[in-house]
Amino acid sequence: MSLAEVWGVVPAGISGVMVKVEVDVARGLPSVGVVGLAHTSVAEARWRARSAIVNSGFTWPNSRITIGLSPADLPKTGTSLDLPIAVGLLAATAQIDKITSDISFIGELGLDGAIKPVSGVLAAAITAQRHGITTFIVSTGNFREASEVAGLCVIAVTNMSQLVAVMRGENPGERVEPLPDAAHHANALGDFSEVRGHDVARFALEVAAAGGHHCSMLGEPGVGKTMLAQRFVSLLPELSHQQALDVTSVHALAGRIQSGHGLMRRPPFIAPHHSISAGAMLGSVRNGVLLPGALTLASEGVLFLDEAPEFDRPCLEGMRQPLEQGSLALMRVGQTVIAPARFQLILAANPCPCGQAIGRGDGCTCGAQQKRRYLQKLSGPLMDRIDIRISLTRPTDAHLRMGAGECSEVISQRVRLARDRARVRWNEESWDLNSHAPGSALRARYSPNIAGQVLLERAEAKGLNPRGSDRVLRMAWTLADLQAKDQPGKEHISTALSMRGGGFE
Ligand SMILES: [Zn+2]
């Protein structure tokens, strides 16, 4: 009779937490105790483990069994610890060899000994790999998801008998061929070739994609704001492998995609309705597990807020921290979960509550004060982060008769080249997108040419404030990158100046 240690992983927040399972088998009255703040579902794991072991033909001793879970102060929920608990018991009773600390197990047990998949395995596998685990043993149903993590040997097993055979070296375990990647095609939300007219918006969105700039669009209802925002995603580059892992694990955690269908390689597009609650917007924590909100689901992708002034103030205020830091702290009793929220914001608004105050605004029935209060909901710290602000007008009949415009593929190629130029320039800096460059650094080390500086100073003398001036500089660099110029000049500053107002100032 002895003690065995096995590493398990439970979902916590956006990743997982390594849990050390200790199983002690000692002389004494037969009993099974779980220590270490286990939630009911974990406390029940001992009974599932006992049935699974006995029904698979192995021995559950008539002894005093103590199962310890650490860290003890972390609430442990779910069924992901079933498998490490059963493995610990088998090791403590010498039915299999002691388990080395570079192996981890995750899976739910059926009473018949079946090993069933659990949710959040991708995040758990990433955590395990960072913790130094080299072999990860999962249910066959979790194999594909866990196998996405480089540097981790993943072995899939279907039941306890097979698991024991694998541990005894009698069976190599099941290998499942990877499935094709999740179908998230660039054109799923439409292509820019379908957009007629809207030259200003097309160009603004190209600039936004190239520099990672947040963008706002003002225009009457039905003018095409949503259509343009959806197509914006098609201009963005594919996610890196690390980004794809992070995005997929967040979306799997939220139950938006089925596990085992491969990685999401395209940036997500998240468009919550303005009636969304603050909880659904920001996310929440339940039993130590993060339920991602819209801000986190949009991470590494695009957050589109249509009719932005209609969102509740807590939703809009809640975006300040993500826009500054790319993450969001969610606090619950005794713990803080940091959720990723590095999204690109596309915000759309009607010009006034009735939506008609565009151009001459003849049809508008709103009072001046009502109009001001409406757009003021977006003022201040939120709008400070939005570099590009444009107004949309309804395409004319002439526009609608024009042929198809450039397709997304052509535009995204220019975006890619511009981003490459920026990445080379920012090589020594702590940011790699123009939109993340601080104004102070731009002024000190990355100023435009003389003619550009003169034009910017003239605009400042006419009342352009320092924050507005920073936004112009950031955009000017993106415009220069799109034209493969080494330094922004007068024409870039001039274009940037024209893209920064858009009815909001
Ligand atoms: Zn109005």
pLDDT at 150 over 50: yes
- Cα 152 to ligand 1 centroid, rounded to whole Å: 58
- Cα 351 to ligand 1 centroid, rounded to whole Å: 7
* pLDDT band of 184, cuts 50, 70, 90: very low
Q: How many CB atoms lie within 10 A of CB 365?
A: 10
Question: Considering the chain, what is the average pLDDT of its residues?
Answer: 87
- Cα 220 to ligand 1 centroid, rounded to whole Å: 9
Give the per-residue pLDDT at 63.
Answer: 92
- Cα 350 to ligand 1 centroid, rounded to whole Å: 9
Exposure string over 136-160, b if 16+ CB within 10 A, otherwise e? bbbbbbbbbbbbbbeebebbbbbbb
d(Cα 387, Cα 11) in Å, to the nearest integer?
Answer: 37
Q: Helices 82-92 and 160-167 sit at what angle, rounded to 10 degrees?
A: 50
Write the pLDDT tens digit of every residue in 399-422: 777 777 899 999 999 999 999 999
pLDDT at 185 over 50: no
- Cα 215 to ligand 1 centroid, rounded to whole Å: 22
* pLDDT band of 183, cuts 50, 70, 90: very low
Q: What's the angle, vertex CA 391, arms to CA 388 and CA 396, rounded to 5?
A: 135
Contact call for residues 79 and 41 (beta carbons, < 8 A): yes
Give the per-residue pLDDT at 331.
Answer: 80
Domains located in the chain, CATH noted: 3-167 (3.30.230.10), 186-408 (3.40.50.300), 437-505 (1.10.8)
The pTM (predicted TM-score) of the whole model is: 0.76
- Cα 228 to ligand 1 centroid, rounded to whole Å: 23
Which of 176-185, 211-220, 363-372 is the most confident on average?
211-220
Q: Please state, for a pLDDT cut of 90, what percent of the chain lies above it.
A: 49
Give me the mean pLDDT over the 7-16 stretch.
79
pLDDT at 186 over 50: no
pLDDT at 187 over 50: no
d(Cα 444, Cα 427) in Å, to the nearest integer?
Answer: 17
d(Cα 25, Cα 31) in Å, to the nearest integer?
Answer: 10
- Cα 65 to ligand 1 centroid, rounded to whole Å: 72
* pLDDT band of 199, cuts 50, 70, 90: confident
Compare 454 and 176 and report the one with higher pLDDT.
454
- Cα 268 to ligand 1 centroid, rounded to whole Å: 33
Write the pLDDT tens digit of every residue in 272-319: 998 888 988 998 877 667 788 999 999 999 999 999 999 999 999 999
Q: How many CB atoms lie within 10 A of CB 381?
A: 12
* Beta strand residue intervals within 72-134, DSSP E: 103-105, 108-109, 115-116
SS3 state of residue 288: coil
Give 38's strand partners: 76
Q: Helices 45-55 and 82-92 sit at what angle, rounded to 10 degrees?
A: 60
